[in-house]
Structure 1
Amino acid sequence: MDDRIKILELLSNKKNVLLMGAPGTGKSRVMNEVAEAFINGGTRLAQPSHVPGTGIPIPAVAAPTGLDLAMLKKANRKVFRTTLHQNSKYRDFLTGIVPELGAGGGYRINEGILYRANEFAKQDNSAALLIIDELNRGPAIEVFGGSIVAIESDKRLNDDNTAAPATQYFEISNPADGQMVEYAFSPNLYILAAMNQADASVAPLDVAFMRRWQSYQLKPNYDVLYENFGVDRTQPIPTACSTASDVYSVAIHALEKTNELICIGRGKEYQLGQGVFLSTKPKDNSMSSALQFASEAWSMIYAHIEELFFGDSISIGYLVNANSPLSPYKLEELYFAGETKSVLTCSDIDTSNIFNLYQAIAGRDQ
């Protein structure tokens, strides 16, 4: 069962799903696939396939999933999308006073995206999916405000949008007249959010807030890389660079080893996903293009390592296997102000030494 189907089932039962995982594990891609399946009633367009002798691929066809979910049976389904950031406000999600532009000036009550999604879900035979990217990059607690408890699956309205004994109400400004009214969420509103646990630049989310979500973890998927680059993972790590396949093989093995060590040094949530090798494509199938591609990918890998172990030259040096005969990195002990300091140095990483660097990392015992 793929991630898309699992998440749709979780959304159907829990209403709120939080997609978590290391950077590059495909959170944005999965959210897009869930949105597509939600709109298409659980189906997904398969990739067009070519029929020999014809000039163009045959049209893509919908692939049924066999899902029997109430939300996918609604005649009217709509996806709402937003991204949290430092300037996100409660009024952007629910309602609030904003200036009225134009010659007349004045103020109006804004209808935020969570409010609009819920109002759509309240309509007859309708369902709404709200997608929130970068949930932990903005002030999530302030943005949701009094609706934090009300989003829980057992605190929603009945299917006909009447109050249930356990329905949780909270106050908002009514966009129609500005008066404070009690408000609750429809059971046909589904919220899918994503966050990057490894982002050291943002604070962790409140535990009470996290309890309102069903978490779903994405892990680095190396099989995707081996398949995408046509590499047989059962073959030994190449010791010489003879083909483009050798470059891709040693690079993917190096990513696996790097993540293995990151799990030990920082934790599994700080790994780097397969997206580091999928965000761009090699120019062609030549070995020179493969080496250039691998060099560019390394800059992203190393930036991630530096962020995780900022100021810790010894740990960074260990990860890149500094002082290995193959590695362009060197860890030196230098004297400064009465103390001995470990300093990591390196020549430029380019197509001339990138294969050896990946081999130094991938071929180490530990």
Structure 2
Amino acid sequence: MAEKINDILSSWGAGRNALLYGPPATGKTRLISELFEALRNRPKSDRGILLDVTNAQTPFSRPELDITIPLPAKVVWTTFHQSYGYEDFVLGLRPDITASGTSLKPWSGVFLDAALELADPDSEYCSVVIFIDEINRGNAARIFGEFMTFLDFDYREDGSVPLPVPLRQLVYSEGQSEEIRRPSSKKATIPEGFTFPKHIYIVATMNSVDRAAVPIDSALARRFDRIEMRPNPDVLASHWRLEKAAIAAANTDNWESLTPFETAYLLLDRLNVAIASNLGPEFELGHGLLTPMRATKVDDSGAEIPVEEKFAWRSLAKAWDDVLFPQLEDRYSGRPDQLLELLHVESPPPAGDFAWALRATKSGAITARTLAPVRVSELDIDVIKRSFRWLTM
């Protein structure tokens, strides 16, 4: 996570916005949550060492994380969705009811309000950071509108070609706009020819798999540095306190002795290699789908102890039933033979029951090429062990 945060800060330092993209459960939202907190309370960096010769006990320490934008920074979080619009992000008109009648008054959205914040001489902030979760869940081109231009730092204040903010919805008088209501209950006006402030930064997340999402167009995409978030089984190894180097590839000699956590690690790795080969890497399964599996628990005395192996196998089976397999079904929709091959349906273990099989039919005229429905978590524990271990092969 620290490396990705440094990538985001480097993009901001170069006058660019950052876009985190990848399959679900690869840590995108968690990463921007950590960055959100880092801007409020600067953490220690994972780079560099400070030497304090006056401190004999702990002479070495880490410096604070190098934040490449002016501080203090105001941080704002928003999530795009299908009903989110220009009125929410830039400028909208809302009815104002008074004794003399009803009129429409301008209200600033998230992006314009960031500009008004930095234009306010009484503001305590030197920069504004906008976190946009699920940027492709809404129609981003419509949401930004003409303000897409100001994602490019060249067209902002102190840029190479600063442009005036085009707010034709506002009424101007004597060089000043009408009052704009802000979410903070403040009011502001902007002068004619107002240029967009420089120190407004955006980091967004984008799900590369969601078919219901709206693809972002090239004009918007080129204004972001793309930072890929890939599935990383090593996160699971750390989460379960496994020695990565000690995890051997499954083979005919060792598959029956794999622990539940080694099995889960190898299973995710094998599934993702197959998915990347069949469908493309953007369809892989995120490691976060398996983090609910816990290697330890806290007992009544408050001590941390390993979970029972039986509990771990059941936990893997439940994650499979509730999360992993539904996503596999979605990805392999229309490709039943590839799914059957992925699950070794026609090449089961040499002995013992196996969780997955072809659907039975009483009609001799039809050859079933679809899976029999099954909830693996409800099977006997020995079948669960055998089935998942065999899937790692």
Alignment TM-score, normalising by the size of structure 1: 0.82
Name the residue aligned to 1:57.
none
SS of alignment partner, residue 256 of structure 2 = coil
Query: How far did 1:301 drift?
Result: 1.0
Relative to structure 1, is the Cα distance of residues 68 and 35 closer, same or farther in structure 2, using a 3 angstrom cutoff?
A: closer
Structure 1 residues without counterparts, runs of 5 or longer: 46-61, 159-163
Name the residue aligned to 1:249.
262
CA distance in 2, matches of 1:274, 1:38: 26
- What letter corresponds to residue 94 of structure 2 in structure 1? V
Q: How does 1:205-224 map to 2 (within 5 A)?
A: 205-224=216-235
The question of 1:79 aligning with 2:90 is answered: no
The question of 1:137 aligning with 2:137 is answered: yes
Name the residue aligned to 1:226.
237
Name the residue aligned to 2:278.
265
CA distance in 2, matches of 1:275, 1:168: 43
CA distance in 2, matches of 1:189, 1:304: 37
The question of 1:119 aligning with 2:116 is answered: yes
Kindly indicate whether the alpha-carbon contact (under 8 Å) linking 1:146 and 1:170 is maintained by their aligned counterparts in 2: no
- What letter corresponds to residue 257 of structure 1 in structure 2? R
Which of the numbers 284, 289, 295 marks the counterpart of 1:276?
289
- What letter corresponds to residue 227 of structure 1 in structure 2? S
1:233-268 CA-to-partner distances (Å, cap 9, x unmatched) read: 333345336xxx810110110000000000001111
Which of the numbers 247, 264, 274 marks the counterpart of 1:235?
247
SS of alignment partner, residue 32 of structure 1 = helix
Q: How does 1:1-366 map to 2 (within 5 A)?
A: 2-41=3-42, 43=44, 64-65=63-64, 67=66, 69=68, 71=69, 73-74=70-71, 76-100=72-96, 106-123=103-120, 126-158=126-158, 164-172=159-167, 173-174=169-170, 176-177=178-179, 184-233=195-244, 234-236=246-248, 237=250, 239-240=255-256, 246-279=259-292, 281=294, 284=297, 285-299=307-321, 300-326=323-349, 327-331=354-358, 342-350=369-377, 352=381, 353-363=383-393
Kindly indicate whether the alpha-carbon contact (under 8 Å) linking 1:37 and 1:43 is maintained by their aligned counterparts in 2: no
**Which segment drifts farther, 171-180 or 184-193?**
171-180
SS of alignment partner, residue 149 of structure 2 = coil
Query: How far did 1:355 drift?
Result: 2.5
CA distance in 2, matches of 1:131, 1:263: 29
Query: How far did 1:107 drift?
Result: 2.9
SS of alignment partner, residue 231 of structure 1 = coil
Kindly indicate whether the alpha-carbon contact (under 8 Å) linking 1:8 and 1:34 is maintained by their aligned counterparts in 2: no
Query: How far did 1:147 drift?
Result: 0.9
Kindly indicate whether the alpha-carbon contact (under 8 Å) linking 2:256 and 2:389 is maintained by their aligned counterparts in 1: no
Kindly indicate whether the alpha-carbon contact (under 8 Å) linking 2:73 and 2:126 is maintained by their aligned counterparts in 1: yes
Query: How far did 1:232 drift?
Result: 2.7
Name the residue aligned to 2:300.
none
Kindly indicate whether the alpha-carbon contact (under 8 Å) linking 1:155 and 1:168 is maintained by their aligned counterparts in 2: yes
* Corresponding pairs, count: 336
Kindly indicate whether the alpha-carbon contact (under 8 Å) linking 1:276 and 1:301 is maintained by their aligned counterparts in 2: yes
Give the fraction of aligned pairs with identical amino acids, expressed as a percent.
24
- What letter corresponds to residue 354 of structure 1 in structure 2? I
CA distance in 1, matches of 2:235, 2:274: 21
Kindly indicate whether the alpha-carbon contact (under 8 Å) linking 1:127 and 1:189 is maintained by their aligned counterparts in 2: yes
SS of alignment partner, residue 314 of structure 1 = helix
1:136-192 CA-to-partner distances (Å, cap 9, x unmatched) read: 00111100000112211222212xxxxx55123342244844799655432110000
CA distance in 1, matches of 2:343, 2:151: 45
Larger radius of gyration: 2
- What letter corresponds to residue 112 of structure 1 in structure 2? G
Relative to structure 1, is the Cα distance of residues 65 and 256 closer, same or farther in structure 2, using a 3 angstrom cutoff?
A: farther
SS of alignment partner, residue 99 of structure 1 = strand
Query: How far did 1:304 drift?
Result: 1.2
**Which segment drifts farther, 279-288 or 250-259?**
279-288
CA distance in 2, matches of 1:221, 1:6: 17
- What letter corresponds to residue 203 of structure 1 in structure 2? V
CA distance in 2, matches of 1:15, 1:38: 17
What is the RMSD computed on CA atoms of the aligned residues? 3.1
Alignment TM-score, normalising by the size of structure 2: 0.76
CA distance in 1, matches of 2:259, 2:67: 45
CA distance in 1, matches of 2:136, 2:214: 7
Kindly indicate whether the alpha-carbon contact (under 8 Å) linking 1:294 and 1:354 is maintained by their aligned counterparts in 2: no
**Which segment drifts farther, 3-12 or 127-136?**
3-12
CA distance in 1, matches of 2:296, 2:42: 37
Kindly indicate whether the alpha-carbon contact (under 8 Å) linking 2:164 and 2:194 is maintained by their aligned counterparts in 1: yes
CA distance in 2, matches of 1:265, 1:361: 17
CA distance in 2, matches of 1:128, 1:199: 29
